[in-house]
Amino acid sequence: MIRIDKYLADSGYGTRSEVRSLIRLGNVSIGEKIIKDPGAKIDPDKDKVLVKGAEVSYSEYEYYMLSKPAGVVTATTDRKEKTVLDLIKTGKRRDLFPVGRLDKDTEGLLLITNDGELAHFLLSPKNKIEKTYVAVVSGEPPVDITQLFREGLDIGDDKKTEEALLIQLEKNEANSLYTYEVTITEGRYHEIKRMFEAVGCKVEYLKRYSMGCLKLDPGLASGQYRELTSGEVEQLRSLNKCK
């Protein structure tokens, strides 16, 4: 059972004080019965709540896959910068947040949800959730770069980085840029940039393509998003069922 004012605020009908006045003005009913007490309790699974005669659709959790563009900060609010939450126009829940962090200039897959338990599961280092990126780097990589990434690098933290998988995808002879696929299981601050720095290279472009079982939908243009399917949510919750 939850308070009707919270239920309506969570469903996108405004702030708590806005929905309280909506309720007090007699705009809200449970079935036929008008409710004027913002503290009244309802059962979201059983009660049919209407605002001005239209049924409220309530979801406890929302899950969005965003194709994050460069130039947007991974935060819920920011006084100066555009945030990833500003891009989720159809989100009803007011408690949405990004799961983990991509740098302002990093693009790609970002999960946005209000499911704290799932976020904790995905971010907990002990679960070693794989995150795969494509990195375009400048500088001359050492010949044993793949081994160095696998063995772990000193990037100035207390501990070396965990084993990372590096696959060279391309070397552009014209501009001397190398393209790699990098898979890491941690989420340290600027981790991939600092790993390449540790071997004398500079990341010029970085994009994330997957997180656990979740793959960036190729149909999403930069800045676009879509809801996750229930299958995707289930797969994210279980470590071993990626297909």
Beta-carbon contacts of 157 under 8 Å, excluding residues fewer than 6 positions away, are 188
Of 22, 23, 102, 155, the residue at the interface with ligand URA (CB under 6 A) is 102
Taking CB under 6 A as the binding criterion, the range among 15-23, 36-44, 52-60, 102-110 that sits at the site for ligand URA is 102-110
Q: For ligand URA, which is the closer residue by CB, 7 or 149?
A: 149
CA distance 126 to 111: 19
Considering the rule CB under 6 A, would residue 47 count as an interface residue with ligand URA?
A: no
Among 64, 70, 186, residue whose Cα is nearest residue 124: 186
Considering the rule CB under 6 A, would residue 206 count as an interface residue with ligand URA?
A: yes
Closest CB 210 distance from ligand URA, rounded Å: 13
Among 30, 31, 28, 19, residue whose Cα is nearest residue 51: 28
Q: For ligand URA, which is the closer residue by CB, 102 or 166?
A: 102
The Cβ of residue 7 has, within 10 Å, a number of other Cβ atoms equal to 22
Closest CB 54 distance from ligand URA, rounded Å: 41
Among 124, 68, 111, residue whose Cα is nearest residue 227: 111
Taking CB under 6 A as the binding criterion, the range among 33-41, 44-52, 98-106, 164-172 that sits at the site for ligand URA is 98-106
Closest CB 76 distance from ligand URA, rounded Å: 17
Cα-based distances in Å from 129 to 1, 100, 122, 216: 34, 12, 6, 15
Determine the size of the site formed for ligand URA (CB under 6 A).
Answer: 8
Q: For ligand URA, which is the closer residue by CB, 106 or 113?
A: 106
**In which residue are the tokens 């279980």 written?**
238
Tokens found for residue 140: 């001359």
Closest CB 207 distance from ligand URA, rounded Å: 9
Q: For ligand URA, which is the closer residue by CB, 30 or 119?
A: 119
Q: For ligand URA, which is the closer residue by CB, 9 or 102?
A: 102
CB-CB contact of 191 with 184 (8 Å) = yes
- 177-196 residues near ligand URA, rule: CB under 6 A: 190-193
Among 226, 233, 162, residue whose Cα is nearest residue 195: 162
Known catalytic residues?
A: 103
Taking CB under 6 A as the binding criterion, the range among 99-107, 109-117, 122-130, 212-220 that sits at the site for ligand URA is 99-107
Q: For ligand URA, which is the closer residue by CB, 29 or 179?
A: 179
Closest CB 193 distance from ligand URA, rounded Å: 4
Rounded (5°) CA angle 115-119-124: 150
CA distance 74 to 83: 6
CB-CB contact of 183 with 165 (8 Å) = yes
Question: Which amino acid makes up residue 46?
Answer: K
**Interface residues toward ligand URA, by CB under 6 A:** 102-103, 106, 190-193, 206
